[in-house]
Structure 1
Amino acid sequence: MQGFAAVDYEFARQVLQRGIAALYAIAFLSTLNQFRALLGERGLLPAPELLSWVATSARRSRLLGPTLFRRVGYTDRRLTALCVAGLIVSAALVAGIPQLGPPWVPMVCFLLLWLGYMSVVSIGQTFYGFGWEMLLLEAGFLAAFLGSNDQPPPTVVIVLLWWLLFRLEFGAGMIKIRGGREWRDLSALTFHHETQPMPGPLSRQAHLLPRWFHEIEVIGNHLAQLVVPWLLFAPLLGLWIPGPVPALVGTAAAAIVIATQLWLVLTGNFAWLNWATIVLAFAAVSLPGSGAAVASDPPWMIDGLPLYWLAITCGVGLLYLVISRPALQNLFAHRQLMNASFNRWQLANAYGAFGTVTRERIEYVIEATMDADPDDATWREYDFKGKPGDVRRVPRQWAPYHLRLDWLMWFLPLGRSLEGWFTTLLVRLLEADAATLALLRAAPFGREHPRWVRVVSYHYRFATHAEYRRDRVRWVRDRRRVLVRPIGR
């Protein structure tokens, strides 16, 4: 680092700008493919109804985050236009085109992505209630101030990205230490690979590893999330301590974060959470000589940065200094909040995940029949894309793409009652609604209307090696009870 300019972080900037833009492209693609069926005009939780509800009261209006749809109104066509525009801007940033201009050009592009995706998240209700939504928003906001190729990255913005990564990792570590006993007795990962929301193709193999390996996993997780994040700030010592050691410590800390996140990528499907963490970790990767040396400055520049750009980035730094207080307090609070935003713009948020680990996997299986008598009928299952169903099927790798319906189905058994959107889902299946069926892997009767649907709960567990050799199954399941008795059109 050289004062206001992080001259050794040019490679980091390239990864950050292009990586975050790629994640926005995936988020907009996921929205384009799923939002209309989940939250559109005929969705399970229609966004127009939410906007009408908040419009009737000033108090309700304050509950809704910033969204363009408040002013222009929601239609499925406008949602499609927003997603297509988001994909175009994201693709341009991935290609590095705006970065060829002055720094305000990529800034405008990233702020457009930030505001556009916030417009979606604000009306996304429970289907957009995940921590990685606010993480992507905050990352996109900070990426807006990384500048363009003809200037070095601003030091203050690089440090703010370290602060974001610190809150993400240290917050997750603290929520685990304060959470379930399984994180303290080192047993958490003997269950997690099997009971996580959406297992991947290697989750079963990870689950069947010996117990001592899972205990090492937990210890490694605690070190990576509770100790390593502090080392991300080591390069700041380079401002006072000469030599390469401080920067090397920061780079080593980033490498540890990346390695642990890659293990999570291999063993699960957590949308873009792990990939966003990997991209953010590159903010601490210092490569001496990756950026052009800062020559003597003309009067309108300091450390290679234009004065107007220096003023903007320092202003962002001061803003974060003010708004970060709640998140800092939350990290050390006895009742730590998980994935919480303290302002309407979803900046300086609190992060954390899996404070407790579910010990058994209960799946709600939706079945349908064409028979007239539901009490003496042959029932066939709806097959989801990501959640367990057919016991012979290998779970697919979906991340960083996000299957929102499949994720929400995992949460249902954890609640005390079925949510309203789930009842609407059953109605849409009775109607053989094309948009809803497109969210599934397969419907038992294709586009035909079933006469009856019902919901049955099953206990799932991964098959042992012996069970797989004998029966060629990846899962073993046993039926528990009929949760929702047959309902018809």
Structure 2
Amino acid sequence: MEWFTDADYWLGRLGFQRGLAALYFVGFLSTLNQFRALIGERGLLPVPRFVAAVRVRQSPSIFHLHYSDRFFALVAWTGVALSAALAAGAADRVPLWACMLMWAALWLMYLSIVNVGQTWYAYMWESLLLEAGFLAIFLGNERTAPPVLMLWLLRWLLFRLEFGAGLIKIRGDRCWRDLTCLYYHHETQPMPGPLSWFFHRLPRPVHRVEVAANHVAQLGAPLALLTPQPVASVAAGFIIVTQLWLIASGNFAWLNWLTIVLALPAIDGGYAREVLPLPDPPAFPATPAWYVGVVLAVTVLVAVLSYWPVRNLLSRRQMMNFSFNPLHLVNTYGAFGSISRDRYEVVIEGTDEPEITDSTVWKEYRFKGKPGAVRRLAPQVAPYHLRLDWQMWFAALSPLYALSWFAPFIGRLLDNDPVTLKLLRGNPFPTTPPTYIRAQLYSYRFTDRHTLRKTHAWWERTLVGAYLPPVTKGPP
């Protein structure tokens, strides 16, 4: 079945599978470290309460059958172990059907987590990981050459990811059209990284080149992905380079890394061997007929489900990130249709004094990733996902984004809840709980070069006003 497979893509498939397994590992690990405080039995948005209110067909998950923190942890640990095994190449050591079952188990476990994760898992890279993970089930292993149809479905996913993001920008904020969005974005992005200050201080003409290159990567390169080789390989390479630039400039969990992983199967190994010292493809056994039938069926399924994302791409009211089915298959993607010109941060403070006076000393809670202390250099956390820190960025944009979880979060801090405090960088009240907690809204801006040299401060901040007035323990 020469029409069905192409051995020249074996190395791209290998890189995709190992990289995807590594990102699954990060996803399960970040879940394992944070779920008890966020969605556990005593979490801010408990899973038991959610599954009691939502039907299984609306959010398919094994946790509709049973939930306990211990069972959830078992699922997450299994995901960590299985994804580590796949990243190490375990799928190539088993029969084809067993390989498919391993990838299917990984997908089902992560789908079960995302579908009960509520606000904490409502990010595009969660759906992207699930869609890529579903396609990985049918990509095969060393027992068969890469199936051409699945390679094209991965390319179709990469096209929708990048082209959707490009369209939402052109249709959205005017600064994308006049090439000025990156005057602000490096400073106002959700989770700046250690190099974000330096990117923000690049000359403005460089920022305009950045925006123009982004348009080429998200509007031009995706179209080139659908053309014959070697043009498609060059387009994939250009996407990889731009994603590495984004990785250096900020923290977007595993979004950029997964985009790179998705670009690898679009690179033709035959052309790549002409410029790089790459090995020749191995000799693959004959492709089983049952496997051909399964791949054809999945291809038809994706083609049918593609109707809704295509209609969305063509719509003037394009949705930015949306799953048209509860299995997160064939989604629509996009990011930063509008850019914030100003950065706001919610700073949470507590005091252990019995009464509040004008001389009350307030101690600030520190977060692991989001900006707080002005002299602290933003850390590199991606591809790890700090879910609370990300939600704090949305909360600063509007309290409406925090209605469901912010009050319970403050309550946990008033209790000095050890599980919740693990989400933070440090607890200013290590022995006794605070008597009062308040939240202040600040405007943050990167310092200039002179101020950085003089004060060693990366940020300067200005108080905007009270976000939450002082509260103490009392009735719910």
User: Could you state the TM-score of these two structures normalised by the residue count of structure 1?
Assistant: 0.93
Residues 103-152 of structure 1: CA distance to partner in whole angstroms, max 9, x if unpaired?
Answer: 21221111111110111111111110000000000000101111111310
Equivalent position of 2:35 in the other structure: 35
Secondary structure at 1:458 match in 2: strand
Residues 10-54 of structure 1: CA distance to partner in whole angstroms, max 9, x if unpaired?
Answer: 001111111111111100000000011011011011111111223
1:420 Cα shift? Answer: 2.7
Rounded Cα–Cα distance in structure 1 between residues aligned with 2:99 and 2:182 = 41
Q: Does 1:469 align with 2:453?
A: yes
Equivalent position of 1:240 in the other structure: none
Rounded Cα–Cα distance in structure 1 between residues aligned with 2:395 and 2:41 = 24
Code of the residue aligned with 2:301 in structure 1: it is L
Rounded Cα–Cα distance in structure 1 between residues aligned with 2:39 and 2:417 = 14
Rounded Cα–Cα distance in structure 1 between residues aligned with 2:318 and 2:434 = 47
User: Could you state the TM-score of these two structures normalised by the residue count of structure 2?
Assistant: 0.95
Q: 2:316 aligns with which of 334, 356, 359?
A: 334
Q: 1:279 aligns with which of 261, 265, 282?
A: 261
Rounded Cα–Cα distance in structure 1 between residues aligned with 2:269 and 2:195 = 34
Rounded Cα–Cα distance in structure 2 between residues aligned with 1:214 and 1:444 = 39
Rounded Cα–Cα distance in structure 2 between residues aligned with 1:36 and 1:487 = 24
Contact 1:458 1:477 in 2 (8 A): yes
Code of the residue aligned with 1:445 in structure 2: it is F
Equivalent position of 2:273 in the other structure: none
Secondary structure at 1:441 match in 2: strand
Rounded Cα–Cα distance in structure 2 between residues aligned with 1:110 and 1:76 = 24
Equivalent position of 1:393 in the other structure: 376
Code of the residue aligned with 1:317 in structure 2: it is T
Equivalent position of 1:366 in the other structure: 348
Residues 357-404 of structure 1: CA distance to partner in whole angstroms, max 9, x if unpaired?
Answer: 111001000000111122331001000000000100110000000000
Q: 1:351 aligns with which of 333, 356, 379?
A: 333
Contact 1:100 1:150 in 2 (8 A): no
Q: 1:252 aligns with which of 223, 234, 253?
A: 234
| Identity percentage of aligned residues | 49
Secondary structure at 1:420 match in 2: coil
Contact 1:168 1:350 in 2 (8 A): yes
Contact 1:383 1:441 in 2 (8 A): yes
Contact 2:56 2:64 in 1 (8 A): no
Rounded Cα–Cα distance in structure 1 between residues aligned with 2:187 and 2:378 = 11
In structure 2, list runs of 5 or more residues that go unmatched: 271-278
1:416 Cα shift? Answer: 4.9
Q: Does 1:120 align with 2:113?
A: yes
Residues 306-325 of structure 1: CA distance to partner in whole angstroms, max 9, x if unpaired?
Answer: 11111111111111111111
Equivalent position of 1:47 in the other structure: 47
Contact 1:393 1:474 in 2 (8 A): yes
In structure 1, list runs of 5 or more residues that go unmatched: 55-59, 236-245, 295-300
Q: 1:452 aligns with which of 432, 436, 444?
A: 436
Code of the residue aligned with 1:392 in structure 2: it is R
Equivalent position of 1:140 in the other structure: 133
Residues 157-168 of structure 1: matches in 2 within 5 Å? Answer: 157-168=150-161
Secondary structure at 1:363 match in 2: strand
Rounded Cα–Cα distance in structure 1 between residues aligned with 2:432 and 2:240 = 47
Equivalent position of 2:276 in the other structure: none
Rounded Cα–Cα distance in structure 2 between residues aligned with 1:415 and 1:107 = 44
Contact 2:188 2:343 in 1 (8 A): yes
Residues 249-304 of structure 1: CA distance to partner in whole angstroms, max 9, x if unpaired?
Answer: 1111111000000000001000000000000000111112742356xxxxxx8xx3
Contact 1:172 1:225 in 2 (8 A): yes
Rounded Cα–Cα distance in structure 2 between residues aligned with 1:258 and 1:448 = 50
Equivalent position of 1:239 in the other structure: none
Q: 2:200 aligns with which of 202, 207, 215?
A: 207
1:350 Cα shift? Answer: 0.4
1:61 Cα shift? Answer: 5.0
1:99 Cα shift? Answer: 1.7
